[in-house]
Each structure stands twice: as structure tokens, then as C-alpha cells.
Structure 1
């Protein structure tokens, strides 16, 4: 089973250079803070069109990052999670290149989806308009397959070709991926974009009954190899609640916008309601390698008539507050302002979304760490990183504002900042204190809340007030109960570059 302690989410190259360097970092300055790590795609090419989510070979480690032995070494003392990119492969993969050359004569041809694969009798305007896609336009790219021009199904980008999970060729491929990962020491498989796999005529081609069947089939294979499965789906919160009943782990994508709303609108009501109904077999995040999800708290065409956790006006106001807090940077990186866009996300570091204020940022992290589930901390968030506008200008890809490539000197400098050291102290408490093995409870009164964990005589509590983002963390120890972290000790002013001398507790 997965340890419920904190996990780091990171690209191997952008934080530590390679997989061996990541292990050194986790065993060195980050020791005791994380019981697991989600290594974002390390397959060749890890630096492709979609930062590794367009694998040419999903069964190999990119030699620039290391070997399977390096992955196994990383897994010796911690849980390792890796991505199974279920929906698509690179248009430059050997299998698809063979289809490009030979068309239907290729033995791999059935593995790849075209318009005709799903609509053999042709698609009506209504059929096409119904297809759910996270980006504008239709999910097709004109390509020549064996000399014949075809509409190839490309949900995300023209570099990522969708596969047809109705075919034995697709399952032979996915089995080889699961075998390679579990053989390499990976014990949690994150199913990327699995919601888009169940494409069926007469549906919106998203989260269909076929999706459930495919997910169950992968879960069965993973369990047979001793691994668990995390499903990644953005959608209405009721869908997450339903999915959670069928799989090992789901993301709590509603938590980040609800925490932002609580801290920036001084309103705990929506977060309180969510804490009472949310699934507890969840992976919690503030930010990830993608943007900050908004669809997860709003209404959705996928469940017409069902209200969201936040109203439309509240969501509009929240997005605007993020834009203002980030000095307009998120506005430049979100929606139609940047290519490769996701309509349902705001592209911004979480630190910038809270105006780089250490006090409110640390409170956001503490809320995440005290909510039941497996807390995952994104590497940029761990280092309280700011929007990388130079990278955005260079690539034109909105999500790149939150995908900074850290130098060793930048990592060292960040680790000396009070807000980063305070996060690490909180993470070590979450990873080691016995209270978190027990029972969770919470109470809300106006702008104040208490989140509490208790296991026999071991207790850890977070008392907070969103009116001024004040907080105190107390935990039992051999000397009784002590204050571990408090807003009074940290101060309320953002540290910017950070002073290594300032205390945090």
C-alpha cells in the first residue's frame, strides 16, 4: 500500500539534473520531508513537445536522465510514482512512423485512432460538436498514412496521437509499459488523460462507460504486479467522488481553488462543505505541472444542472484576484493568451497566486498537509517559485510559467529561504508524527477553523483565521504539546529572495 506521507512531484532534470541527482537531493537537504516521489515523464524524449507526455518509447528511461537501475535505487527507500500515458503516444514513435509509411498495411495500424475508427459511417455536425476537448477546435490532425490523407485523432496536440483501446495492439503496448514501470520499482501508476480513452459514437467521447472498463482493466493489471493506480481526471466534483469508489487514488483537484478562495475572499464556507463530502483516498495538491484547475469547482457540461462548489461569480472573482496578485503574469499565460492552452486552468505558480506572501502561502500548504489523503508537493511550490516569464516568452506555452528549470545554485538559495524551511518543517511533521495515522476532524466558525488529527495520545492541530491568514500548528511530543509553526514567528511579509537568518519557529 502507498504510504500516506508527503510526496514530491518533479521533473528529474528541472530540479536535480537527473534521476541520481534527485535521489541525492531527497536523501540530503530534503531528508525526512518526503516518503515518496512522483517523477514526471522520464521516457525518451523527456524534453519533447509536451515535456515528456509525448513518449516515443514509454518502456525506456531517457539515457540523459539515467537508467532503470537509477529508478530502482530511487525506489529503495520511498514510494515512486510514474505516469502511464494511456491516451496517446508521440507521433514520432516507431509504431506510428510505420503506420505513416505503410498505412493500413502496417501491423500497428489498428492501434491508432482516426475519425473513421470511431465514426465508420461518417460523423454528423452534431457528432463533432458534441466531442469534449480541453482546448479549442476539433481533436483531429490531417496526416498522410500510407499515402492516403486521413484525419488522425489528436486530443491534445498534433505531436500526440491517440490510441484505440478497443484493439489488442493497444493492450499489448500498455502491458509492456506497465511491466517496464513495475519492473523498474514503480509502485504507483498515474493514469494520465485516461478520461479521453473511451471514445464512442453517440457520446461526448469523455468519461464514457468504456473509460470505466479500460480503467478497471489497467487497475487489474497494476494490482497483479503489486502496484496501485492514481486516476487523473478534471471534471465536476461529483465525478471525482464517483471515480474514487472505483480506484485506489484520485486527485483532489477541487482543493487548490477552494484554498485560494478561502484565503483571498476570507470565506471558509465552500472549503468546509467540500471537507465534509470529499473522498479521502485522494492525492492532494496545490499546484502541479499543469495549471490551477477551475473546472473542478464549477458547473460542467458533463453534469448539466449540477451546481459547482463555487458559483460562477465567485470563480470569476477568484480568477481575477489571481491575475491581480500575480501582477498580470497569469493573465498573459492563461487562455487564448498562450498556445497549448487549457480552457479550464489558470497558469500561475501558487506562490504568485497568493501575491508572494509567505504567511498566506504557508497557511495554504498547512491546509493541504492537514487534509486527509496523500499530499503531493510540486517542486516549484516547494521552493516557493515565481512565474518564469522568460520561459513563457521563449516557448509561448502558458504552463511553462510554472515549469522552471532550477540550477543547483538556485536550489541552494531557495532552501535557505524562511518560507521554504518552514514548509520543510511542516512536511517533516506530516511525514513522521503518529497523529496523522489516526482520525481527522475539523470545525469552522466564521473565518476561523481548526483541523485536528489524533491517534491515541498523539495529537496534531492547525488553528487558523482566514481573516488575517494567522495560524498555529501544535503537536504532542515527549515534552507535552508544543507550537511547531506559527504565523507570528514567520511574519506576514513576503521574503522575496529570502533571508537565511530569519527564524521560522
Structure 2
């Protein structure tokens, strides 16, 4: 994959409908994307947690396609596209064959020891302080009682949902399970695995059990397992920025989750100092995102315990308040406050909605994302200029569903004609094809509210200047032997896409 490449993050069923039709989009209007992260397409893709509760993690849900379709997306057609898939490290479904067998046969099960029971972590029992010390991203306690076939009741760890049974990742049977899944993914054409929820995978009494020293030991071990299978590793950790910096050297890629809240802070306050400080220290092997299927993480830029954040608690609260105003109060309803916390850890809203559908501010933020070093990734709802799907949230009661719209063919066609989408596609094309992005990166503060980001390679130059006050503004300057041009509006970016867009050949 080109070092300048941009990735798309998508659910196969919610954009296109299945894997073959997703491939058609990637070969057609989205062909400038060098890679795609396909969110869980396993059996079933539409479980209680939208595929993050697999019954069979090694099988493609036949309603979406087959492993041949994943391999075709990856490059059987010769396009060499990177494919990322999730390795769900922390848990399996309560309906998985392994867990069902354990409930039926207990100690005699071939999977005994694979699942994390309460007394595995607390063999001598636990008091109130021990239990409430654990960090959980949802309200309530992380345990669920299950009845064995012989009538015994076992209290198992369920960090996220009662139907998501935590693995005992220190147990060899659990590790054999993970090795089997890694092998299936690699054989299916996957090139990179995202370690989903790895920060919660190791429970250590006496700590909050989130991204501890013991977690980092396991990260090294699971990364070694993935690389042995021939896979690159992307780690997902919503945590204090120092933990991102600590884990970045251990993996191939780490998310830059701090960028989105810092951009919201800058756009809301008309200042750039916190953003510039992050530019100075952020990991270079980062996947840059504004929005994902999990909402907009705010905790990633904030304080944790006695560690100061890139922004403080009041500034975090102000971001939530501005989002509430922009969404008519809906983001407050949809966002969840974790156990023992005073604020949600993320805004459940589309990034466009959180900015009040201000296209100029939105393209400013997207341009910053695509100008930073690392591997940019655009979420399908964000690419299509999606606003909150309030109706889907009402039907499911899941706050994150406001940002998981299921596009009909008609909605997709309409979105592809919008200025917001075409302007973003123009940015993707610039990042993917302009030689300057293969050179050296630099940035500088121009004033309290303005920043310049620049790439240079020989005579090629790609510069982005953004200003957050008195109103959001951006200017792109492209210079090179082939000529120079500037862009400073959403319309001018969309027009660039129109000028450089070559329709794909008709499908036979």
C-alpha cells in the first residue's frame, strides 16, 4: 500500500448491502481508497452488538458473502488493496459453540478455562473496593450469572454486554482460539487486524484493569501471534494520550483518537494551542480518524486521575455542551456515562452533526486529518455527510446507532452527488496522488488561532492553512512543476473532484 494511502471504514451491510456490492463501490466511486476496514462480517454480522459478539468468528456470514469475496476485495483482481478486520480479543458470544459446550460439560469441556470466571480473578473472594476499582465503559458491574447444565451457577465476566463473555487471555485454550481466528483471517485475505477492546482484556486485582502494565505484556504477546500469522496490527485504545504514546512502539498502527476532540475544542474556542501541542508529540504510526462506528471519543484528550490531559475536565464538558446545542440535545440522550464517571467517554453523534452541519468547519477538520502524518481513515457515514440517524436509535435503543446508518441505493446515489462528499473525495485524491505527501512534513503556528501544515518533496509542495477564529477557514495551496492552484471553499474542493474524476468503465 502507498504510504500516502487513505482507508475507508465501513459495515458491508450498511453501505452496499453485502461484500460483492462493497467491492463494486471500492472499484468505482471509492477507488482512490488504498484500503478498507470492513467492520465485523462474521456470523452473525447483526447480533446484539452489530457483529462484535461473534458466534463464529472464523466464518463469513453467508448473507454478506464468503471468504472469496473478502479475498477479491483484497486484490485477487490485481488492485492490491489492504483489508483490515477485527480480532475481537476480549470476548465471544454467549451463543458460541465454545461457550455453549462449556455450559453443558463444565470441567469436562474441551473449552474449560477459556472463559473468565469471577473466581479466576478473585480466587480468595473480593470486597466492594476490589470490585468497584475496575473500569467499565458501561453502567453497572461487569459480571453475569450463567447456569451450568448440572445446575451450578457461575459468575462470568461480561465487560460490555451480558451476551459477550470475556476470554481468559492468559489461558492456553483461549490463546489457541485466538490463533485459530488469526489463521482464518489471514487465509481469507485480511492483511491487518485491529485488536478490538484489547485494553480491557487483562483483569488485575488492585487496579482499574484498563491498559495496565499487565495489559501491555499481553499486547506484546498477541502482536507476536498476529505477526507470526503474517498480519499487521492496529490497536484500539480509548485512554489517556500517554497510554497511546506508550503502546505505539509495540504495534504497527495505533489510532489517533485525540485529534477529533482537539479539533472540536479548537473550532469551539477559536484557539489552536492544544492542537499544536498534540501535533508535536503525537505518534507517527497513527491511523487518523474524526469519527468511527463507536462515536467521537472525548476521553482520549482529557485528564485521567492525577495525569493532566491535553484539555481539562471543564473543556471536555464544554465540548459535550456544544455538541448538545448542535444536535438539539440529542447527543446528550444518545451518549452513555460509564460506571463511576461524571461524563460520557464519547459523543454519540456523527461528526457532521456535532458541528451543526457546518460544511466549512467540517471540511476544515477533514483537511487537517488528511494532512497529518500517518494513515487517514474515513468512516462511511462521515464520507457521505451523514447526520444523526435518530430513528434507528429510537428503534434499537443503542446510542451508537445514531452514527451507523443503513444506506439505501437511492440514499447512496444522492450522497455521492453532494458537495460535502465530493469535497472529501477530492481531499482523498490529493492525499493519495500528490507526490508531496511522500516527502517531509512540517507545521507552524501562524497566530493564536491559525496553523499551517505542509508537505514537501523536491519541487512539490502541498500546504494547508487553517484558521479557527473569527470563523473557521481553510486554504489549500498546491505547487509543483505541473502548476499551482489554491482551494479555500467546499465548493472549490468539490469542483476539483469534478475536474479530476474519471468515471469507471461500465461493468459487463
Normalised by the length of structure 1, the TM-score is 0.93
Q: Which residue of 1 aligns with 2:303?
A: 299
Q: Does 1:252 align with 2:252?
A: no
Structure 1 pair 139–2 and aligned structure 2 pair: CA distance change class (3 A): farther
Aligned-partner Cα distance in 2 for 1:343–1:354: 18
Greater shift, 172-181 or 202-211, is seen at 202-211
Q: Which residue of 1 aligns with 2:334?
A: 333
Q: Cα deviations across residues 402-439 of structure 1 (Å, max 9, x unaligned)? A: 00000011001000001110110011111111111111
Deviation for aligned residue 1:215: 1.4
Q: What CA RMSD, in Å, does the superposition of the two structures yield over aligned residues?
A: 2.2
Q: Does 1:219 align with 2:223?
A: yes
Q: Does 1:473 align with 2:476?
A: yes
Aligned-partner Cα distance in 2 for 1:143–1:224: 35
Q: Does the residue aligned with 2:233 lie in a helix, a strand or coil?
A: strand
Aligned-partner Cα distance in 1 for 2:394–2:491: 38
Deviation for aligned residue 1:504: 12
Q: Which residue of 2 aligns with 1:453?
A: 455
Q: Which residue of 1 aligns with 2:183?
A: 179
Structure 1 pair 342–24 and aligned structure 2 pair: CA distance change class (3 A): farther
Contact 2:136 2:142 in 1 (8 A): yes
Q: Cα deviations across residues 192-220 of structure 1 (Å, max 9, x unaligned)? A: 00011111233322223332222112211
After superposition, where does 1:34-183 map in structure 2 within 5 Å?
A: 34-76=33-75, 77=79, 78-146=81-149, 147-183=151-187
Contact 2:71 2:189 in 1 (8 A): yes
Aligned-partner Cα distance in 2 for 1:60–1:3: 31
Q: Does the residue aligned with 1:393 lie in a helix, a strand or coil?
A: helix
- The count of residues paired between Structure 1 and Structure 2 equals 490
Deviation for aligned residue 1:294: 1.3
Aligned-partner Cα distance in 2 for 1:460–1:422: 17
Pick from 288, 291, 301: which aligns with 1:287? 291
Aligned-partner Cα distance in 2 for 1:502–1:171: 50
Q: Cα deviations across residues 437-465 of structure 1 (Å, max 9, x unaligned)? A: 11111111221111101112221110121
Structure 1 pair 488–155 and aligned structure 2 pair: CA distance change class (3 A): closer
Gaps of 5+ in 1: 492-497
Deviation for aligned residue 1:104: 2.5
Contact 2:420 2:490 in 1 (8 A): no
Contact 1:103 1:148 in 2 (8 A): no
Moved over 4 A (4+): 1-4, 488-491, 501-505
Aligned-partner Cα distance in 2 for 1:403–1:259: 22
Pick from 449, 462, 465: which aligns with 2:464? 462
Q: Cα deviations across residues 316-347 of structure 1 (Å, max 9, x unaligned)? A: 1111001101122212211269xxx9931110
Q: Does the residue aligned with 1:150 lie in a helix, a strand or coil?
A: strand
Q: Does the residue aligned with 2:478 lie in a helix, a strand or coil?
A: strand
Structure 1 pair 149–464 and aligned structure 2 pair: CA distance change class (3 A): same
Q: Does 1:441 align with 2:445?
A: no
Q: Cα deviations across residues 26-83 of structure 1 (Å, max 9, x unaligned)? A: 1111222x10000000000000010000001111111111111100110002110000
Q: Does the residue aligned with 1:366 lie in a helix, a strand or coil?
A: helix
Q: Which residue of 2 aligns with 1:228?
A: 232
